[in-house]
Structure 1
């Protein structure tokens, strides 16, 4: 334990474990799902708030799981360039982090029972699958993130599942707009993971963690990041051209200036400086969701 971390309070230590800078990513999908429900006159406040809490808890639980399981598997070494991991730093014991993770997922499950009551058993099945995937990302005998499957599951659960699930517990169905809207949201949150894996590529390669970034190499991983951003901006245009939404959805493109610095950073930065790019990408995923939601609602009011 370094002198810098010796005097941290218990609250600050748990905040390090929770990683608040990643939490905007959990808010965007619920915001978009709720905005589409408002535009379709199906909005219900309590299911939306509960869905938001569940989404945040799943993100927190996933962060705790990654912290402890990466440590247990020996993947967190002194060469790590990502944000401080509390288990590896000795600030919390593996057992403490495991208990915290269990409590977070238990609370998410308990709140999910209300959403199951509102939306039916399909919500329960999706919730259980989300918890299992969050743990299995770095835990279990076949950790998804170690075998290049992290991006796939992040996209599924933070895109279609989160956006369409939020809409479904309010409207009782899933509209075409909700399905399409889930794509850019999921892609942008996947981009957060791409930054994470791009930053950790040298260390992951040494420790045998076969992420997509390790498989593709640095240049192709940069291209992957750019493509995720580009397709995210293309989806609103496609939605308009297909007549699913009005031209107001192109209001989303006003968020473009917020992403340009991130593109520059991913092209020029390596290692630890990419922590700021990761946090910036998480923030941008929420900014994009806000602009998308406003554009959709303006189109409904116009």
Structure 2
């Protein structure tokens, strides 16, 4: 391995191998929607702490399981090697058996199902159906004969299930209903979660192209994909203005604009770059944009609730 690769993939042992397997930089797509849906519900009634915690853990487990399926199936299809960027590396760099990674992914889903039983029993059994469909989407994102991640629908699928669906479930289990506002509030977060997937596909464009994938980034080309990423950021911030001026939501939502520097850093970080390792900071900035934006959006609802 060359010096660049050594610096990119430092030797790791013990729990760090398993932590990297979860791909922690992607977990923001799991906890931000739960926090947002729960924060929005605080204006309706007191938050049920155990339901919130159960939903949060279940969402993190499903996201981590999805990442493990990704790790397993990309290895099984010969797409990952010890020099691959953006993977957990448990199989190709640390010698973990592929069957162990796959089994751990299913174990995480099993734990999420148990939490889902409690959540459904405490709210509605329709949640169980929606949860099972969401878990299936996580598996078939990279599993099965026609992985969603290999198509132009990866960003839409991830944004819909991880952004829209999780936000609505988190809101519903607290309030017992879905509202127009809960639907609208989930839109910018859904877009930003889709942006995380797009940034991943921009980084992996060359390798994905060789493996026969047909992602949006491949279909439109690198430059247009970067412009699309910038447009997704812009639409998310414009949506905040729409919520404030047309739906009379709290001006505290403007706090989300504090994440704009991260969005700018993400876009600039992709421009002129072609090597995956060079684009890792940009992808990290994309995930951080979602995290900061989501936290501040949730905080705005809590603030408006406290001062009202």
Q: Shorter-chain TM-score category?
A: over 0.9
Matches within 5 A, 1:21-36: 21-36=25-40
Matches within 5 A, 1:94-109: 94-109=98-113
- 251-260 vs 231-240, greater mean Cα deviation: 251-260
The whole-number CA distance in structure 1 between the counterparts of 2:282 and 2:10 is 27
Q: CA deviation at 1:25?
A: 2.4
| 2:71/2:88 contact within 8 Å kept | no
- Give the alignment partner of residue 116 of structure 1, picking from 106, 120, 131: 120
- Give the alignment partner of residue 87 of structure 1, picking from 91, 99, 107: 91
Aligned to 1:281, what secondary structure does the other structure show? helix
The whole-number CA distance in structure 2 between the counterparts of 1:238 and 1:154 is 24
Q: Over residues 5-59 of structure 1, what are the superposed CA-to-partner deviations in whole Å (9 max), with x where a residue is unaligned? A: 8974342221221122222221111111111011222421111111110111111
The whole-number CA distance in structure 2 between the counterparts of 1:127 and 1:201 is 31
Is 1:217–2:221 an aligned residue pair?
A: yes
Matches within 5 A, 1:200-239: 200-239=204-243
Q: Over residues 258-285 of structure 1, what are the superposed CA-to-partner deviations in whole Å (9 max), with x where a residue is unaligned? A: 3222221122433212222222222221
Matches within 5 A, 1:258-269: 258-269=262-273
Matches within 5 A, 1:4-153: 8-77=12-81, 80-89=84-93, 91-153=95-157
| 1:245/1:299 contact within 8 Å kept | no
Matches within 5 A, 1:268-287: 268-270=272-274, 271-287=276-292
Give TM-score, length-normalised by structure 2. Answer: 0.91
Equivalent in the alignment of 1:288: 293
| 2:171/2:177 contact within 8 Å kept | yes
The whole-number CA distance in structure 1 between the counterparts of 2:152 and 2:11 is 38
Give TM-score, length-normalised by structure 1. Answer: 0.93
Unpaired stretches in structure 2, ≥5 consecutive residues: none
Aligned to 1:70, what secondary structure does the other structure show? helix
Q: CA deviation at 1:105?
A: 0.7
| 1:251/1:292 contact within 8 Å kept | yes
Distance 1:126 1:204, change over 3 A: same
| Number of equivalences | 302
Aligned to 1:254, what secondary structure does the other structure show? helix
Distance 1:277 1:244, change over 3 A: same
The whole-number CA distance in structure 2 between the counterparts of 1:184 and 1:118 is 29
Aligned to 2:47, what secondary structure does the other structure show? coil
| 1:158/1:185 contact within 8 Å kept | no
The whole-number CA distance in structure 1 between the counterparts of 2:150 and 2:10 is 32
| 1:16/1:84 contact within 8 Å kept | yes
Aligned to 1:138, what secondary structure does the other structure show? coil
